[in-house]
Amino acid sequence: MITPPQIVALIRRALPDARVELTDRTGTLDHYNVSVASKGFEGMTRIDQHRVVYQALGEALKDGRLHAVELKTQVT
């Protein structure tokens, strides 16, 4: 289980200016819809944007605190 503030903190380590919006999809604090907007994505393909976010969340995904993420990204 991982809380929304913890997810935001992980993402902001990689993208300090990120605007992050989260929705807990199941009420179990391990399945989230995540929307991330950042200037740091400028010049990146959508796949590369997603890679940056998934890398930031990597440890939480690996250890099971975070089970599923539906991700949307955009350049601000």
CA 8 vs. chain centroid, Å, equals: 7
The closest of 30, 26, 74 to 49, measured between CA atoms, is: 74
Beta strands in the chain (DSSP E): 19-24, 31-38, 68-75
Whole-structure pTM value: 0.93
User: Tens place of pLDDT for every residue, the chain, 76 residues?
Assistant: 999 999 999 999 999 999 999 999 999 999 999 999 999 999 999 999 999 999 999 999 999 999 999 999 999 9
Q: Which amino acid is at 48?
A: D
Evaluate whether 36 touches 15 at the Cβ level (below 8 Å).
yes
- The answer to whether the CB of 2 falls within 8 A of the CB of 65 is yes
pLDDT at 60: 97
Q: Which CATH number describes the domain made up of 4-75?
A: 3.30.300.90
